[in-house]
Structure formats: C-alpha cells, structure tokens
Structure 1
Amino acid sequence: MITLGCRLNLAESETIRALVGADDMVVINGCGVTNEAMRQTRVAIRRARRDRPEAKIVVTGCASEMDHDAFAAMPEVDRVVPNAAKLLPATWGAFPNQRPARRHARAFLGVQNGCDHACTFCAIPMGRGPSRSEPVGQVVSAAAELVQQGAREIVLTGVDLTSYDGGLGALVEAVLVGVPALPRLRLSSLDTIEIDDRLFELITGEPRVMPHVHLSLQAGDDLILKRMKRRHLRAEAIATVERLKARRDIAVGADLIAGFPTESEAAFANTLALIDDCDIVHAHVFPYSPRTGTPAARMPQVSPVVARARAAQLREAADRRRRSWLASLVGTTQRIVIEKPGDRGHAENFAEIRLVDPSLAPQDHATTALPSADAALSAVRMGKIGDVRSVSIIDAAHDHLIGIPA
C-alpha cells in the first residue's frame, strides 16, 4: 500500500489494506491537490512497477479520479479504481476485516468526505464530490474498534471536516462520551468560520481533545482571500486564534498558499505576517499551481519562479517561528503516545519528541548542544508502542524535541 496526500487518504488506506485479498497487488492511493501531487503519484506508480515487476498495480485516489484516462493509459497500471468504489469490499474481492490492517498508536478516522464549497484554486471537489458525513453511531463504533485494536490517539479527518452534518462539536462530544477508553482525540484541518460554540468549548476546555488546531487559512490578505472565495477575512482568522489561545495554550498549524494569481508584494507581505500574527508553529506551505478547470487557472498568473521564492520565504519564517517555539518547551514535561519504532511520539501540542537514554543525555539541561549521535542511536524504549507517558524535555533540534522519561 502506497499512500500520498492528506490524512483522509491515510485513513482510507488502512481500510483498503484490510480489504485487499491479494499478496501480489500494490495499491497506490494517490493525491491530486496540486500538479506536484499528481506528478508524485505518477512517480510512485513507476517506482512500484520497478520494485515489484510481477505485482498487479492498482491506482485509486483523487489523482486518478481527476485524470482517469491518463492514469489508465500508463503502461505500469493494471487497474484504476474510482474514489467512490475504493472502500467497498466488492471492489477488492474481500470482506471487511478479512485481513487485519496494521494499526498504529495514532489512528486516522475519516468521518467526512467531499466539499460543497467552491474555492477558486481547488480541484478536490472534482475528485471527492459533494460533502457527505458518516453517521455519528458509525463513527463512534469505528473509534471504539480502533481503541480496542490499540490506538491511543484518534485523528478525525475529512476533506472539509468542520462541515460535518449536525456539527463537528456534536460529533466530538459523541466520540468522547461513547469511547471513554480513548485517551486522546485530535482534529485535522478546520475552517475557522465553521468552528461552532460547542466545538470551541471542547477544544479549549476538554483535556482529551488535544491543544492543537490546524487551520485552513490559505492566505493573509483580504483581497486574495476574496479571490480565492474563502469565507473568512484576515482579521477573523487572527481573532479566532486569539480567542482560542486566550482559553488554552494551543499550538496552531495552518495551510498557506504562495503566489496565488494577482498576488502583489503587499498581499504576500500580509500572508507572511500572518505567521507571527497567528503564532503558526505547524505550517504547510504550497506554491500555487494552476489546476485545469478551476476559476483561478483563468486569472492573471504570478510567475512560478516568484511563487516558489515566496513559498521559500514563508517556509523560512515558519521554521524560525517553530524553532523558537520548540526552544521555549525545553525544561517542560510533556505527555506523549509512544509510536513506532518505540523511541518517539508526539506531545499533546503535536511537537515531535524523540527519546534518548537518560544516562547518555547531557547533564546540563540548559545546554544548546544536542545529545551525541551515539545517544540518539541508544534511544531508550520507555514501554510498548501505544503507552502514554510523561517526558522531560531536555533539548530542542530544528524540527523536534529531545526528551527523557520524567
């Protein structure tokens, strides 16, 4: 199983893995969010054929949904499965749970699919269709099963998660009540304009809901946001973050697009400033790429060279903000779920923490020097994968924290 793209794809791939009844098959669940994602899907197909020349190569996901004929024509591809059919047992000639899927300490659970909005840059509705939601009871049952299989953190995912029928807050509450053995619940990308009052109260006041939000911001300039057909303005995004952080120490992530059509230097500066204004420490940055059939593809384009340069600036600013935030966590105690291979995990705020043997860690916890390579290689296993443990943070690298058992 080869998965590209979003967390919803990751969740769907686990279901596909349980349904596939053949050992001589490679399933590629591709992504179509950008032209680069389409290219990477084609690369993955060709690599799979080189690595497994005798295997049957099956392609599914948004990439092949958006350009079925092109993927079906690839000589490496034996079959293309539509998105609408990829989770059906009949597609794979198997029955649910015929073969156990590999479960992890952190599990992704898809609860919503498709999108009814029409952002001018987005081709995903072409691949995913209109918005629809899984029934609450089905979600609760699936979450309970994941916990029984060993998951200690569940991430609710969707294409447009906050459009969940009946309100995402109501669903989160139902999962928390219905699955009392679940220690940690995390949410994937949220639309700021759709964070309802119940969801806000749960994010800011419920300990089992992780203090980490990933916001679909895309830009920090009002004119660009309007041309994107986003439903929020810059001030509303900032106000949402301020309101959340006033109630709880929440780590903020965001999707940002650089070089959207008509983006001026001043407009880009507003997006660049949003990293500090919204205290973004988990940034996903993309240079804009036009998608055929979308309104933005017909707008006056920014040079791809400029778009890539602006994306690099956004990443540099986001990296500085992230490094400063990680450094501020040195000396604190964090709770993690131990993940594969057993020497790391994510804190509640989604900072990655790597564990080292206490006997090899620096004695001066204030030092900026990292533990030696030998110490990292001698990482201590603090228990089995899935354990929830406290960790003392002794140092910070550029993209993760270093800790020892508390």
Structure 2
Amino acid sequence: MTVEVLTFGCRLNTYESEAMRDLASRALAGDATKAGQTGAIVVNTCAVTAEAERQARQAIRKAHRDNPGARIIVTGCAAQIAPEKWSALPGVDRVIGNADKLKPETWAALDAPPAPVSDIMAATETAAHLVTEFAGRARAFVQVQQGCDHRCTFCVIPFGRGPSRSVPIGAVVEQVRALVQAGYREVVLTGVDITSYGPDLPGRPSLGQMVRRLLALVPELPRLRLSSLDPVEVDEDLWRLIAEEPRLMPHLHLSLQHGADLILKRMKRRHLRADAIALAERARRLRPGMVFGADLIAGFPTETEEHFADTLALVEDCGLSFLHVFPYSERPDTPAARMPQLPVPLRKERAARLREAGARAAARLFNARIGQEEAVLFEHADRGHTEHFAPLRLARGTATPGEIRRLRVTGATPDALLAEAA
C-alpha cells in the first residue's frame, strides 16, 4: 500500500515526515485492511501560524475528496495542541501526538482503537530515528534535539513539542555515517532549539562539542549545516568550528525575530539588538564571507513604525541575505495574544516591505558573486545550492543530482545565481 506524507512547517517536520513514511510503509506493507484500498495519507501539521493550520486543514479536505478510500492520519504540532479539532475533520481516521508519531508500535497498531494523544510535557527522551532516504533531496536532515524550555510570548511550539531533550552524540554519529554511506553529501542538523543541545545528557555536552566530535568521527562527510541558532547561545566550541572547520558551511540561520529592543523584551527573547549585530560581526571576523539568514516577525503587538524601522535596519546592520518573514499571527493562550493587536492588513503590509528588503539583500549577494567560483551541491540536474546556501541554476548544461561541482558564476537573476556546466 502506498503512503503519502504531506508536510507543513519546519525542517524538523521534514525529517520526521521521512521517518514516518518509513514506519508507516513498513507497518502497512501488503496490508490493505490497515491502509485502505487506496493507501494512507499522513498529514504532518504545523502550529507556528494560523495560516499554516489553514493550509493543513485545506490539504486534509482535498485529500479526502480526491482519495475517499484512503486512511488519513493527522499528526504534528497543531494536532498535538488541539487533537479534537483535527479528529473532527471529514475523512480523518486518527490523530497521533508528537510523542508517539515516531514509535514503530504506534504504526503497528493502526487496527486498534485510536489512543488518546499523550501529554507532550511529560516527554523525557528523544530517540534517534535512522532515516536514510529523503525523497527527492540531495541533502539529509538529522534531528539532534527536540522541544523547547523557553517561553517566547508569541510561540505555542513548546506546547506542541514539549521540554527540550537531546539525542546522544553516538546516535547522531551513527545516523550521519549511515547517510554518508547512502550517498548524501550534505547533512543539516535540526531541532526546535538546537543551541540548547546537551544539558540533559551525561557530561552536558554543548552543541559545539557535539558538532566537533561528529565531524571528527565522520571525516567522509563533505558538508554540514546547522538549522536556526539563538544569537546568545552559540558556545565557544562552535565559534572555533566556525573559524577553523571548512566542512561547516559558511551560512548561519539566526532566530532573531525583531530588531527593536522593546519588542524583543515583550517577545521575551533572550537577546537584544546589539547581541545580534555582535554575533554577525564576530562570525564575519572569524569566517570572512559568512552569509546569514534570519527569522523575522512583522506586526507584533504594540509594534510602532519606529520599531518596525529597527527591524528593517537590522537587515543592513547584520548583513542578512536570506529572510524568513512571518506577519505576526496570534496563537491561542499565548501572552502576546492578550496584548494590543495591530490590524491584520498592517501586519501583512509590513511583512511585504520586509520581504522586499530581503529580496534586495539577496540580489546584492547574488550580484557580488558574479565571476566567483562556487562549490555547488546539485539537488536537480539543473539547480542546486552553493556553500553559502545561495540557489544556483544552470543556464546551460546539466549535472548529476547529489554531486558537488565547482563552477564559475556567470550571472544572476533576482532569485538565483547562474552558471554553465561544461
């Protein structure tokens, strides 16, 4: 029986979707009574914004219309937080909580009556799940951490993911080694808050210590990336790797959220504007040419035009090139939802202006790379990403997906570098 997985949200969800695809396929193999005659559809939801939830609901309704005989299974953060809402949608067979969705026994028991969604706040461990196939991808994701102990006022994710917990270093090494043996040339370490890695493990290793040991124990791994970093939690081992380890890619994605100190305090973030700028300056001193991406929120409650101008200016002050912009979306039962709200059209208008600033910054980066030689990991025959995570497209010729090639950049469009393959 076929298993289709629809994924919404973050890179961690991407990783978990591949793990679930494998678990569900094994459990449902050759069993039409479990999967239904037309297979199973797993919907991995996101709760970051109301729009993410709306898209998931829309996908479920479409899946039910198009595949009336399929078993629809809903999981992910939105399903964890409000399981009754998702189980009531037409065609949904069951809702599986985040604590149970990666357990083989969950998928083996699909014929049993649905179990209630368990309390994610009681979770104490994160098991490593070996995923050696990422459908249609040349890079692989490895979960090293789960959950979050912080309570940003806008964020509901801790209630969908539970407390912070880390994957032991040996398990991370085992999975990365298996992925390299399977042909992957690049691995992305992912989690909810990866800079909080380690305090729950024996010896309390930091993220930098784990990465250093990983690279030493898997010398055949060509490229390593890190998902979102908190600006004030980068440890000294990680700083040394940024300075000295060429296999750690010169691209960092930062969880900044805003550029005004007052709004950062109201968000209950752990950094101020100066901390973000200092991180960018230090990283560029240690690794000239370092490129940054960032998560930013526009239209947070009480945000004035002056506050928003501080966020716009942060694009220049930190030298950000790739922006992930959210218009603020109030989440139920969060402190920010009880603050004075800005009109939704104003939030969207500011988010659009911020995206325009991001597009200009990306274009500056692309134009500056014209004439430079880049090492490109190809995800498709005609396009891939450079070490700086700049998208590159071949104007002529083709490459083999999964290979790394050095090419000279010949031009740029607003959204990609251009090169020619010999």
State if a TM-score over 0.5 links the two structures.
yes
Aligned partner of 1:326 in structure 2 is 366
Whole-Å separation in 2 of the counterparts to 1:103 and 1:289: 31
TM-score normalised by length of structure 2: 0.88
Aligned partner of 1:64 in structure 2 is 79
Whether the 8 Å CA contact 2:302–2:339 is kept in 1: the answer is yes
Percentage of pairs with the same residue: 54
Aligned partner of 1:110 in structure 2 is 143
Whether the 8 Å CA contact 1:111–1:134 is kept in 2: the answer is yes
> Matched residue of 1:20: which SS?
helix
Aligned partner of 1:225 in structure 2 is 264
Aligned partner of 1:182 in structure 2 is 221
- Tell me the C-alpha RMSD between the 2 structures: 1.6
TM-score normalised by length of structure 1: 0.91
Alpha-carbon offset, residue 101 of structure 1: 6.0
Whether the 8 Å CA contact 2:132–2:179 is kept in 1: the answer is no
Of the three residues 202, 208, 216, the one matched with 1:169 is: 208
Alpha-carbon offset, residue 103 of structure 1: 6.8
Alpha-carbon offset, residue 324 of structure 1: 1.3
User: What is the one-letter code of the residue matched to 2:250?
Assistant: P
State how many pairs are aligned: 381
User: What is the one-letter code of the residue matched to 1:178?
Assistant: L
Query: Which runs of 5 or more residues in structure 1 are unaligned?
Result: 358-379
Alpha-carbon offset, residue 174 of structure 1: 1.5
Whole-Å separation in 2 of the counterparts to 1:305 and 1:255: 20
2:4 counterpart of 1:4:
no
Q: Deviations over 1:214-261 (max 9, x none)?
A: 000000000000000000000111011011012211110000001111
Aligned partner of 2:410 in structure 1 is 394
Alpha-carbon offset, residue 392 of structure 1: 1.3
Q: Deviations over 1:26-77 (max 9, x none)?
A: 1111111111111111111112222322211111101111111100011121
> Matched residue of 1:194: which SS?
coil
Aligned partner of 1:271 in structure 2 is 311
Alpha-carbon offset, residue 204 of structure 1: 2.8
> Matched residue of 2:385: which SS?
strand
2:231 counterpart of 1:216:
no
Cα distance change on mapping 1:139 and 1:198 into 2, 3 Å:
same
Aligned partner of 2:398 in structure 1 is 381
Aligned partner of 1:235 in structure 2 is 274
Of the three residues 89, 95, 99, the one matched with 2:104 is: 89
User: What is the one-letter code of the residue matched to 1:267?
Assistant: H
Whole-Å separation in 2 of the counterparts to 1:18 and 1:214: 29
Alpha-carbon offset, residue 98 of structure 1: 11
Aligned partner of 2:52 in structure 1 is 37
> Matched residue of 1:84: which SS?
coil
Q: Deviations over 1:71-122 (max 9, x none)?
A: 001112111111111111111129x889966473200111111000010000
User: What is the one-letter code of the residue matched to 2:85?
Assistant: A
Query: Which runs of 5 or more residues in structure 2 are unaligned?
Result: 29-34, 110-128, 199-204
Whole-Å separation in 2 of the counterparts to 1:163 and 1:354: 36
Aligned partner of 1:374 in structure 2 is none
Aligned partner of 2:114 in structure 1 is none
Aligned partner of 1:195 in structure 2 is 234
2:301 counterpart of 1:286:
no
Q: Deviations over 1:322-375 (max 9, x none)?
A: 1111111111110011213x2211100000111132xxxxxxxxxxxxxxxxxx
Residues 337-352 of structure 1: pairs in structure 2 closer than 5 A: 337-340=377-380, 342-352=381-391
User: What is the one-letter code of the residue matched to 1:292?
Assistant: P
User: What is the one-letter code of the residue matched to 1:305?
Assistant: P
Whole-Å separation in 2 of the counterparts to 1:354 and 1:143: 28
Q: Deviations over 1:159-194 (max 9, x none)?
A: 001000121101111210111111000000000100
Of the three residues 362, 365, 376, the one matched with 1:336 is: 376
